[in-house]
Structure 1
């Protein structure tokens, strides 16, 4: 993980009542400063993500404190957590104790192991079938996300970065790059709409169009309580989704949603704005309808990343991945059909597969 240049002894801190917090932090410390040089594989990562992977066992809050205090330096200068590392950048890492292998092993894993959810792996990328309820990365109130667990499970991996994101309550296909060049190439495919990403969504009401292209700009903002939200606004970023009707009931419709852009909460907000909120969406959905669905045993949002297709950046192979519909989602479709509401089949273009959980 980079080249170590030198080790400088850490200072002896004198104890005073005012240094209580500092003393607590220093209990994590090693006795030297480290200097690292960024190589090609590490280039392109955000500084905060790199540090969280390198400083194993150090709390995320402490990593950000080191950055805020300027104790981590890039080319002898302070750096923002979002700074993208460049090849041959020189990093100063202050004295801080990493977790031992035994301590890393003792960290509680995610409720669902990701090892059984790897659908494909090669030298450049991983394709996972992410379960619902699992965040893609750690954050406020979340100890470990997908990327943190992968780095914990693969301590010798030089590069592991999310190619894109899925909401915590969205299940399905998630790409992870194992090389910097692959990450850059896949981002280019996404930027130029050369990666097909399709989702399955159950929405309230009868969707009137067999096929509808929606182009509505999205604006991301934070509420006073700190909640992240997205709204349709003229000054927002261009956002485009193609919806295809697959199956309908008197009170619900199963849709395929193909992302033509990749904005935060794009499918959810577009559908809510059209008047067809996603089942189980507790942010943009219909509370009363969601409550009715719980009586059918439905306890999550019905949004599933079902299909990905793109050309592999390393060998130019055309790749197509499909994630079967999780059992709880397949069951709600069965219960809708048996609930006495009736059903009208609209000949879906692709069979909806079921996955046993």
Structure 2
């Protein structure tokens, strides 16, 4: 793509380019389609040219959410990048494989480590999906089915066919999947509190960072959010929870648990910052939230799948150093 994105080695000036959507890309969101084809171009730059109207589909204006169809012609403006942006554009992300929980021709399930974003953007040059594509140049199709926060470890699904992507995303949207996390929270979680049904509202801080807060049911921008909670173990000064989400809202588990006075250990956005400092001295370096179990129907066969990713070593190590007063019955 050097002729499109330019860079220090380019001889000719950047020019308008046209991409023709192939069969495998039909139905994809425009932003995802461009991010796949403009590998290395900063995500913020891709969104900027879409929103400015410089990107067109069949000569018509479009938005990041627009869906491309086979045969569509997508106009790309001259992409003049300089300095650090140009260096990033011509330097591909490092290829990387991740621990595989399941793989076939339709989908790939990996055990994502904490500290790795699922995709580039918001100050992150690349994430899991870009590294997978670089490690698997022969793969014709690799797309994220859903997302995990950067500091959350555990099960992440990647589609290897367009039909699988649509089927699996439909299952997530229709709440046909079962997603259960393990979370360590401050204090003694009340046994009676098993369901949190409170709407959430997304907003931005002054620096543009995304945050979420509880809101009231009449808020037109609020999204109904349902979280089911089960006590797994009562520990010294904290509780290990099995948390199942019926809705997949941004930061849902973190905000819902914190709203009940029981923030997640190590949460640097919604947590107890003084407690976090103590935990860091005990070698807990990140948020204790792990995507533990995932159930869904296989997109091709319809067979019910049940995947599980065991707690990673750092979280297991922390639990082993917490005194257990009595097991939960």
TM beyond 0.5: yes
- Structure 2 Cα separation of the partners of residues 26 and 76 of structure 1: 30
Equivalent residues in 2 for 1:49-128, closer than 5 Å: 49-68=32-51, 70-94=53-77, 107=92, 109=94, 113=96, 115-128=97-110
- Structure 1 Cα separation of the partners of residues 106 and 29 of structure 2: 19
- SS of 1:88's equivalent in the other structure is coil
Aligned residues: CA RMSD: 2.9
1:159 to 126, 137, 141: 141
TM-score when scaled to structure 2? Answer: 0.87
2:30 to 43, 47, 55: 47
- Structure 1 Cα separation of the partners of residues 275 and 143 of structure 2: 37
Question: Contact 2:229 / 2:242 at 8 angstroms: preserved in 1?
Answer: yes
For residues 117 and 30 of structure 1, do their structure 2 counterparts lie closer, same or farther at Cα, with a shift above 3 Å needed? farther
- Structure 2 Cα separation of the partners of residues 130 and 164 of structure 1: 12
For residues 278 and 124 of structure 1, do their structure 2 counterparts lie closer, same or farther at Cα, with a shift above 3 Å needed? same
Equivalent residues in 2 for 1:312-351, closer than 5 Å: 312-337=298-323, 342-347=324-329
Question: Contact 2:18 / 2:74 at 8 angstroms: preserved in 1?
Answer: yes
- Structure 2 Cα separation of the partners of residues 79 and 142 of structure 1: 25
TM-score when scaled to structure 1? Answer: 0.80
- Structure 1 Cα separation of the partners of residues 250 and 12 of structure 2: 38
Equivalent residues in 2 for 1:83-232, closer than 5 Å: 83-94=66-77, 107=92, 109=94, 113=96, 115-209=97-191, 212-232=194-214
Question: Contact 1:30 / 1:96 at 8 angstroms: preserved in 2?
Answer: no
Offset of residue 212 of structure 1: 0.3
- Structure 2 Cα separation of the partners of residues 227 and 59 of structure 1: 17
- Structure 1 Cα separation of the partners of residues 122 and 235 of structure 2: 39
- SS of 2:322's equivalent in the other structure is helix
- Structure 1 Cα separation of the partners of residues 295 and 306 of structure 2: 4
Partner residue in 1 for 2:254: 268
- SS of 1:333's equivalent in the other structure is helix
Which ranges in structure 1 are unaligned for 5 or more consecutive residues?
1-8, 11-21, 98-102, 348-357
| 1:265-308 CA distance string (max 9 Å, x none) | 11111100011100000111111111111121111000000011
Question: Contact 2:184 / 2:240 at 8 angstroms: preserved in 1?
Answer: yes
1:286 to 272, 288, 291: 272
- Structure 2 Cα separation of the partners of residues 201 and 46 of structure 1: 33
- Structure 2 Cα separation of the partners of residues 216 and 63 of structure 1: 34
Q: After alignment, is 242-251 or 84-93 more displaced?
A: 84-93
Q: After alignment, is 313-322 or 45-54 more displaced?
A: 45-54
For residues 225 and 28 of structure 1, do their structure 2 counterparts lie closer, same or farther at Cα, with a shift above 3 Å needed? farther
- SS of 1:336's equivalent in the other structure is coil
For residues 243 and 59 of structure 1, do their structure 2 counterparts lie closer, same or farther at Cα, with a shift above 3 Å needed? closer
For residues 210 and 256 of structure 1, do their structure 2 counterparts lie closer, same or farther at Cα, with a shift above 3 Å needed? farther
Give the 4+ runs in structure 1 shifted more than 6 A.
22-26
- Structure 2 Cα separation of the partners of residues 30 and 312 of structure 1: 47
Offset of residue 155 of structure 1: 3.2
For residues 313 and 28 of structure 1, do their structure 2 counterparts lie closer, same or farther at Cα, with a shift above 3 Å needed? farther
| 1:316-345 CA distance string (max 9 Å, x none) | 1221111010011001111112xxxx4221
Question: Contact 2:203 / 2:212 at 8 angstroms: preserved in 1?
Answer: yes
For residues 226 and 251 of structure 1, do their structure 2 counterparts lie closer, same or farther at Cα, with a shift above 3 Å needed? same
| Structure having greater relative contact order (Cα 8 Å, sep ≥ 6) | 2
Question: Contact 2:57 / 2:72 at 8 angstroms: preserved in 1?
Answer: yes
